[in-house]
Amino acid sequence: MASKFYVTTPIYYVNDAPHIGSAYTTLAADIIARYYRIKYGKENVFFLVGTDEHGQKIARSAKEQGFTPIQLANKVSEQFKNAWELLNISYDFFIRTSDPRHEKVVSELLQKIYNNGYIYEGLYKGLYCVGCERFLAENDLVNDRCPLHPNKAPEYQEEKNYFIKLKELVKNEVLPRIEKGKYNILPQKRKNEILARIKEGVEDVSISREGVTWGIPIPWEKKQTAYVWVDALINYYSATKFLEDKEKFWPANLHLVGKDILWFHAVIWQALLIAAGEEIPENIYAHGFFTIDGQKMSKSLGNTIPPKELVDKYGVDGARYLIITACTFGEDGDVSLKEFDVRFNADLANGLGNLVSRVAKLCENSKFEFHYDNTYQYSKNEKIESFRFDEALKTIWDEVVEVDKYINQTEPWNLKGDKLREVLEKSIKSIKHIAYGLLPFLPGTAEKMEKQFSEPKIKSEAPLFPRI
């Protein structure tokens, strides 16, 4: 296979302004995209983000706020773009499901599935959670409520729908592919959860809605619209179809998602693609939740932290660092602003920032001129490739500690001439190596460091991370 990498984030609902929970997936995807751009070259990476704009949830939210759905979508999709810009997210394209080009691809894909005989008409009766935009089975309920939206009772809905033969597709196509490793569900414990749920039994699911007008019409029956999840999942595929020169990126190499939406990605999305006769993505990785005092951060619970709040206080790279290190990737983690201060001061102001200031000062005092020949070549980072971001950062921070120690031991303030030059040149080399490692994580800081330590006369500069 050609060396290319296509990574996606979930497309966010436009009823909710961006918060650091939504920023979490996007930032992780950004780190991965930046890493693979170094590995494969810029033109061989495609990083897609976007917004999920159709369906009942958005239509209702818009109404409550006195907007039409598209007005709300226009407004909130801008907020997402702004938030990603603030966090220096290097996405290649921002897809919106209200884009007519996307709508056309959705319609074509559904028609293919229909033509292939995987769709039939049926009657749906049951409970629906508008917050999740999904039907709930008996065993999904906790105290008669959706566990993710306990503040609102699920609604009984009964309507004529088109169904996809999910049960048959899972048994004959999806499950064998999971078992043969044709695509990966990561981490392993999530794969086990999906397998267990498949073993419990899979029912066919509806792919259309009768009462929802804010959506993409079903091509063979225009009175119905595509179920918003089906419409949304297809974004990953449609972007590669309607954008110029992006076709080579399908199938996706990686869908990064939160654990709440893994089933849709690991099972339903695969079934849709297989039913349409399309290739399926290679990896699906589900991470955990940011919680505040044990509760998921979300608008409906009113406990969100907007990314801007962090960027204003800690700077872009400070915010990026704190978000990505908030918990072990893959696990849940509880967040508190107080703990952010502690980590910022310890790791960034004292650790990295201090080292950079220290070496710069020593170089400046020496009045030496430096000449450089070491620009770093790509080397494979196993930790990033396997989503162990905290370990990847730990390796870099170990190097920070090592250089600090080296300086303490060699005491360059007591040295002169060649001896001093040797210590400084070694330290500069290490700083450049640290900067190189930081590129995917803290791109602005990495570039600043690289620049500062590439001048013939190195000068002290303002601290990278002023103490809080």
Tokens describing residue 169? 């597709």
* By CB under 6 A, residue 238 contacts ligand MSP: no
Least distance in angstroms from the C-beta of 24 to ligand MSP: 5
By beta carbon distance, the residue nearest ligand MSP is: 258
Give the residues across from 185 on adjacent strands: 284
Q: Which is nearer to ligand MSP, 12 or 118 (CB)?
A: 12
CB 16 within 8 A of CB 64: no
* By CB under 6 A, residue 84 contacts ligand MSP: no
Binding region for ligand MSP (CB under 6 A) out of 11-19, 173-181, 182-190, 338-346: 11-19
Q: Which is nearer to ligand MSP, 52 or 317 (CB)?
A: 52
Q: Which is nearer to ligand MSP, 104 or 296 (CB)?
A: 296
CB 360 within 8 A of CB 458: yes
Pick from 7, 11, 31, 324 the residue near ligand MSP by CB under 6 A.
11
Q: Which is nearer to ligand MSP, 44 or 291 (CB)?
A: 291
* By CB under 6 A, residue 52 contacts ligand MSP: yes
Site for ligand MSP in 252-271 (CB under 6 A): 257-258, 260-261
Pick from 10, 215, 318, 351 the residue near ligand MSP by CB under 6 A.
10
Between CA 90 and CA 32 the distance in angstroms is 10
Pick from 5, 6, 7, 12 the residue near ligand MSP by CB under 6 A.
12
Is the link from the previous residue into 187 a cis peptide, with omega within 30 of 0? Answer: yes
* By CB under 6 A, residue 13 contacts ligand MSP: yes
Give the phi and the psi of residue 98 in degrees, each rounded to 5.
Answer: -85, 0
E-assigned strand segments in 147-192? 155-164, 184-186
Pick from 5, 6, 7, 21 the residue near ligand MSP by CB under 6 A.
21
* By CB under 6 A, residue 22 contacts ligand MSP: yes
Residues 6+ apart with CB under 8 A from 125: 156, 157, 158
Pairing of strands 217-218, 205-206: unpaired
Between CA 348 and CA 340 the distance in angstroms is 11
Least distance in angstroms from the C-beta of 272 to ligand MSP: 11
Question: What's the Cα-to-Cα distance from 297 to each of 23, 230, 259, rounded to whole Å?
Answer: 11, 25, 14
Pick from 5, 6, 24, 114 the residue near ligand MSP by CB under 6 A.
24
Least distance in angstroms from the C-beta of 95 to ligand MSP: 10
Question: What's the Cα-to-Cα distance from 316 to each of 89, 311, 393, rounded to whole Å?
Answer: 10, 5, 17
Q: Which is nearer to ligand MSP, 11 or 274 (CB)?
A: 11
Task: Build a one-symbol-per-residue string for 165-184: x at contacts with ligand MSP by CB under 6 A, - elsewhere.
Answer: --------------------
HEC sequence for 235-252: HHHHHHHHCCCCHHHCCC
The size of the interface with ligand MSP (CB under 6 A), counted in residues, is: 21
Find the helix or strand (DSSP H, E) in which 285 lies. strand 283-287
Site for ligand MSP in 268-307 (CB under 6 A): 289-290, 296-298
Planar angle of CA 128, 129, 133, nearest 5 degrees: 95
Pick from 5, 6, 7, 25 the residue near ligand MSP by CB under 6 A.
25
Q: Which is nearer to ligand MSP, 52 or 347 (CB)?
A: 52
Dihedral sign (CA 400, 403, 408, 413): negative
Between CA 15 and CA 235 the distance in angstroms is 18
Q: Under DSSP, is residue 434 helix (H, G, I), strand (E, B) or coil?
A: helix
Binding region for ligand MSP (CB under 6 A) out of 13-21, 35-43, 84-92, 354-362: 13-21
Q: Which is nearer to ligand MSP, 276 or 446 (CB)?
A: 276
Tell how far CA 45 is from the center of its chain: 15
Residues 6+ apart with CB under 8 A from 414: none
* By CB under 6 A, residue 227 contacts ligand MSP: no
* By CB under 6 A, residue 325 contacts ligand MSP: no
Q: Which is nearer to ligand MSP, 301 or 401 (CB)?
A: 301
**Binding site residues, ligand MSP, CB under 6 A:** 10-13, 16, 21-22, 24-25, 52, 232-233, 257-258, 260-261, 289-290, 296-298
